[in-house]
Amino acid sequence: MEFETNSKDKERKKLEEIDPVVEAKNISVWYGEEKALENIGLKVPKNNVTAIIGPSGCGKSTFLRCINRMNDLIEGAKVEGKIVYKDKNLYDPDIDVASLRRKIGMVFQKPNPFPKSVYENIAYGPKIGGMNDKEELDEIVEESLKDAALWDEVKNRLHSPAMDLSGGQQQRLCIARALAVEPDVLLMDEPASALDPIAMSKIEDLIYDLKQDYTVIIVTHNMQQAARVSDYTAFLFMGKLIEHSPTEKLFENPDKKKTEDYITGRFG
Amino acid sequence: MGTYLDDDLSEIFTEFTLRKTPLYFSIILSLIGGFLLSTNFSLILFNLGILIFSSILIIMQIYRFIENKKIIFKQLIFGLIILMFLYIPLILPNQLSIPIDNIDAGIGKGFLLSLFLVLIGLFGVYINLSNLDKQNKKAKQASAYLYLSFAILTVLFVLFLIIGFIVYNGAGAITWEFITQDIQNMGASGGVFPAIIGTLLLGLGTALISVPLGVGTAIFLKEYAGSQSKLVRVIRTSINVLNATPSIVHGLFGLALFVPLFGVSLLTGSLVLGFLTLPIIIRSTEEALESVPKDIRDASFAMGATRWQTIRNAVLPPALPGIVTGAVLGLGRAFGETAPIMFTAVIFSGGGIPTSVFDSVNALSYHLLELTRLIGYKDVTQKAWGTALLLLLIVLAMNFLGIRIRKKYRT
């Protein structure tokens, strides 16, 4: 199978040479008795898109949810190991989870706008952060919507319900909402899997643009998508990290037999 | 897909309606017969005649449709049993209705007989069709459909009978004076103004106590406590017990605990009614919170919101219509209660308008109770019906309000 990788920036540093913005060290996760992840170590380079691929149930989403500690919300989930971000272990007891999540934002599989207006959706994050200045909020809303390539489509209906937007627009709204609190890192959990091909390609273009300002980690089970949008790709299988390399290397010349089997469609 | 199912159902339904028409006839005629029984005894013969006639028709029908002719004997025996049961209402005592002087005592008996016949008819349909079941798969579907439509028809029949009865008897009593004047001569003259005010005040007091407590409890149970924790299970069991407690027990509890503290007063009554409606409010709030998708909570948490910020800004707004509706319906219940307030909050006649929460009040439900006790001693029958209608209207208005709120926020 041929994969079309983004050839614009072929020259990539080797993973050993990069200075990671987020680094997972020996992350293991249990759901009750069941071990979902085992000793994951992963470096996420700054201003790049890192894709996490693997068959269903391999722990991709679980890993993603470790990075902004969304797993805390799942009853019976237990995380061991370290996630280092800005020289701090995110699992240290003195970490303020709420402010951590403002720095590491998240976009979910299914578009999940609040049942409020477009404007209120974007303003949600800044408002709970304590911002009340109307002009500043207006500015943030406009900026975020522009960054998410949605401004032209919604500028005349900022105060109509977000639920009236199409699925693709809703997902870009969710991205804009995540951007409104100015995160460093954006986690995306299969952000285009519930969308039609056109909406999907818009999201992919957007992800490509976002890496100018943000570090993006995207979970996907669509390998073509991973090849198209990402700079680095990690392959997870049965809760273990099998391979992590620059995207074109992983797809064209993988080191591990298992990776090759998966990307050529022999299993999964 | 949808239309296909509908077509299928209507086809089955038509087929079976045609087949079962005689049975429908017998039930409807029995119903009418039962009603007429109260005034004209000879109609019983007519009634029975129709029943026998339609039974024969049914048996003939079934005979045509059923390949296994042995079943017909079962049908015959069943028909005989129906006829035997028919005589039971005839030996019921004549004084089954409420002893209110100007109401025909026979209506109660006629009503009971009608209800009885409907139930027998229902049973008959079930037996008929469950015999057919063995022959025809579609019959299973149709028998369920028939059973359900009979159940709902019975419920509607009783409901409209009750409402119609109260409106018919009470409408004449409701005048401007009745609504605005004081209670005079132990309710025999004047109006029920203090009772209306008292009922509304008790409702308000109940809301002030049960809504904050109930909504708070529900938020704690749903949003804070883990669903598996022991504490939650204990609380939930207690709420169920509270819900199952008879309202008179609530009243006695209030008498023992609050009356020594606050006297027979608006405050005491509100407390007791508040605890009575608490389980309703907790449960409806929990349901409203449950209906808010988990996605929305996740979105809020992922934006860096704390748990309380998430509840306050993301979960409560979409849950609010459900919470308000539950509260309104709970209050509707509180308005109608008599037992919890009879020892704790109300007095009959001469209470007037309370000036503080420590004053006792009049209430429509209790006023109605006392008036019905006075029937035969004083001329209060019409006032009693009027009071009942007024109470019904207030409760219906509350329910209507609840539905309106739900509709308004849903769109």
Going from the C-alpha of B16 to that of each of B26, B62, B199, B406, the distances in angstroms are 16, 12, 50, 38
In a domain, B226, yes or no: yes
- Which of B306, B309, B318 has the CB atom closest to A115's CB atom? B318
Residue B103 has pLDDT above 50, yes or no: no
Tokens of A58: 């391999």
CB within 8 Å: B298 and A116 = no
Q: Are residues B149 and B223 in the same domain?
A: no
B177 pLDDT tier (thresholds 50, 70, 90): confident
In a domain, A166, yes or no: no
CB within 8 Å: A115 and B317 = yes
Q: Are residues B111 and B26 in the same domain?
A: yes
Tell which of A31, A70, A114 to mutate to test the B interface (max B CBs under 10 Å).
A114
DSSP 8-state secondary structure symbol assigned to residue B361: B
Position B123 scores a pLDDT of 61
B379 pLDDT tier (thresholds 50, 70, 90): confident
Q: Are residues B336 and B205 in the same domain?
A: yes
The boundaries of the domain holding residue B22 are: 8-172
Q: Tell me how close the Cα of B88 comes to any Cα of chain A, in angstroms.
A: 60
Strands (E), B58-188: 183-184
Q: Tell me which chain A residues have a C-beta less than 8 angstroms from the C-beta of B298.
A: 70, 73, 108, 112
- Which of A70, A124, A177 has the CB atom closest to B313's CB atom? A124
Q: Are residues B327 and B186 in the same domain?
A: yes
In a domain, A210, yes or no: yes
Average pLDDT over residues A182-209: 90
Whether the Cβ atoms of residue B157 and residue B121 lie closer than 8 Å to each other: no
| Residue of chain A minimizing CA distance to B305 | A98
Residue A54 has pLDDT above 50, yes or no: yes
Q: Tell me which chain B residues have a C-beta less than 8 angstroms from the C-beta of A109.
A: none
CA–CA dist B279, B330 (Å, integer): 9
In a domain, A256, yes or no: yes
Position A139 scores a pLDDT of 93
Position B27 scores a pLDDT of 57
Going from the C-alpha of B140 to that of each of A95, B61, B79, B113, B220, the distances in angstroms are 62, 18, 21, 29, 45
Position B76 scores a pLDDT of 59
Q: With pLDDT > 70 as the criterion, what percentage of chain B qualifies?
A: 62
CA–CA dist A241, A81 (Å, integer): 15
- Who contacts B56 (Cβ-Cβ below 8 Å, separation ≥6)? none
Rounded to 5 degrees, what angle do the CA atoms A211, A86, B296 make?
Answer: 65
In a domain, B1, yes or no: no
CA–CA dist B104, B131 (Å, integer): 42
Q: With pLDDT > 90 as the criterion, what percentage of chain A qualifies?
A: 49
Tell which of A101, A171, A177 to mutate to test the B interface (max B CBs under 10 Å).
A101
**Considering B172, B193, B219, which residue would you say is the last residue of a domain?**
B172
A175 pLDDT tier (thresholds 50, 70, 90): very high
Region of poorest pLDDT, from A30-39, B23-32, B143-152: B23-32
Q: Are residues B186 and B168 in the same domain?
A: no
Going from the C-alpha of A47 to that of each of A63, A216, B223, B261, B276, the distances in angstroms are 20, 7, 37, 69, 60
Highest mean predicted confidence (pLDDT) among A172-186, B139-153, B156-170: A172-186
Position B210 scores a pLDDT of 95
Interface membership of A75 toward B (CB under 8 Å) = yes
In a domain, A102, yes or no: yes
CB within 8 Å: A108 and B295 = yes
Q: Are residues B161 and B20 in the same domain?
A: yes
Q: Are residues B197 and B97 in the same domain?
A: no
Residue B141 has pLDDT above 80, yes or no: no
Q: Tell me which chain B residues have a C-beta less than 8 angstroms from the C-beta of A114.
A: 296, 299-300, 314
CA–CA dist B344, B252 (Å, integer): 8
Residue B406 has pLDDT above 60, yes or no: yes
CA–CA dist B63, B243 (Å, integer): 51
CA–CA dist A106, A117 (Å, integer): 20
CB within 8 Å: B295 and A68 = no
In a domain, A35, yes or no: yes
Q: Which of residues 118-157 of A touch B (CB under 8 A)?
A: 124-125, 127-129
Q: What is the CATH number of the domain that holds B279?
A: 1.10.3720.10
pLDDT tens-digit series, residues A119-141: 999 999 999 988 889 999 999 99
Q: How many domains does chain A have?
A: 1
Q: How many residues does chain B have?
A: 411
Buried b (16+ CB within 10 A) or exposed e, B367-384: bbbbbbebbeeeebbbbb
Q: In 3-state terms, what secondary structure has residue B12? A: helix
Higher pLDDT, B1 or B195: B195
pLDDT tens-digit series, residues B253-266: 999 999 999 988 99
- Which of A73, A75, A177 has the CB atom closest to B301's CB atom? A73
Position B16 scores a pLDDT of 52
Q: Are residues B140 and B188 in the same domain?
A: no
B38 pLDDT tier (thresholds 50, 70, 90): very low
CB within 8 Å: B304 and A127 = no
Q: How many domains does chain B have?
A: 2
CB within 8 Å: A125 and B227 = no
In Å, how far from its chain's centre is CA A194? Answer: 15
**Considering B146, B172, B198, which residue would you say is the last residue of a domain?**
B172
In Å, how far from its chain's centre is CA B195? Answer: 23
Region of poorest pLDDT, from A47-61, A239-253, B32-46, B190-204: B32-46
User: What percent helix, strand, coil does chain B show, rounded to 5?
Assistant: 80, 0, 20
Position B114 scores a pLDDT of 56
Interface membership of A109 toward B (CB under 8 Å) = no
Q: Tell me which chain B residues have a C-beta less than 8 angstroms from the C-beta of A174.
A: 299
Q: Are residues B226 and B93 in the same domain?
A: no
Higher pLDDT, A1 or A192: A192
Residue A173 has pLDDT above 90, yes or no: yes
Position B101 scores a pLDDT of 46
Q: Tell me how close the Cα of A23 comes to any Cα of chain B, in angstroms.
A: 20
CA–CA dist A196, B195 (Å, integer): 63
B39 pLDDT tier (thresholds 50, 70, 90): very low
CB within 8 Å: A115 and B302 = no
Tokens of A18: 């990069």
B298 pLDDT tier (thresholds 50, 70, 90): very high
Q: Which of B241, B235, B254 is nearest to B337 (CA)?
A: B254
- Which neighbouring-strand residues pair with A85? A22, A88
B346 pLDDT tier (thresholds 50, 70, 90): confident
| Residue of chain A minimizing CA distance to B293 | A112
Residue B207 has pLDDT above 70, yes or no: yes
Whether the Cβ atoms of residue B252 and residue B298 lie closer than 8 Å to each other: no
Region of poorest pLDDT, from A219-223, B135-139, B350-354, B377-381: B135-139
Q: With pLDDT > 70 as the criterion, what percentage of chain A qualifies?
A: 94
Q: Tell me which chain A residues have a C-beta less than 8 angstroms from the C-beta of B228.
A: 75
Q: Tell me how close the Cα of A106 comes to any Cα of chain B, in angstroms.
A: 6
Residue B19 has pLDDT above 90, yes or no: no
CB within 8 Å: B228 and A116 = no
Report the half-sphere exposure of A239 (CA within 13 A, side-chain side).
Answer: 12
Q: In 3-state terms, what secondary structure has residue A258? A: helix
Q: Tell me which chain B residues have a C-beta less than 8 angstroms from the C-beta of A108.
A: 295, 298-299, 302
Average pLDDT, chain B: 75
In a domain, A146, yes or no: no
Position A106 scores a pLDDT of 94
Average pLDDT over residues B89-112: 49
Sign of the C-alpha dihedral computed for residues B294, B295, B296 and B302 taken in this order: positive
Going from the C-alpha of A29 to that of each of A21, A36, A219, the distances in angstroms are 21, 5, 17
- Which of A75, A114, A181 has the CB atom closest to B304's CB atom? A181
Position B112 scores a pLDDT of 59
**Considering B121, B151, B172, which residue would you say is the last residue of a domain?**
B172
Position A181 scores a pLDDT of 92
Tell which of B303, B308, B313 to mutate to test the A interface (max A CBs under 10 Å).
B303
Tokens of B146: 């028939």
In a domain, B354, yes or no: yes
Interface membership of A173 toward B (CB under 8 Å) = no
Q: Are residues B151 and B197 in the same domain?
A: no
Position B138 scores a pLDDT of 58
In Å, how far from its chain's centre is CA A11? Answer: 23
Q: What is the CATH number of the domain that holds A243?
A: 3.40.50.300
Residue B216 has pLDDT above 50, yes or no: yes
| Residue of chain A minimizing CA distance to B225 | A75
Q: Are residues B34 and B118 in the same domain?
A: yes
Q: Are residues B196 and B54 in the same domain?
A: no
Q: Which of B383, B339, B377 is nearest to B195 (CA)?
A: B383
CA–CA dist A84, A92 (Å, integer): 10
Residue B304 has pLDDT above 80, yes or no: yes
The boundaries of the domain holding residue A54 are: 13-112+184-263
Q: In 3-state terms, what secondary structure has residue A103? A: helix
CA–CA dist A247, A264 (Å, integer): 15
Sign of the C-alpha dihedral computed for residues B65, B67, B71 and B76 taken in this order: positive
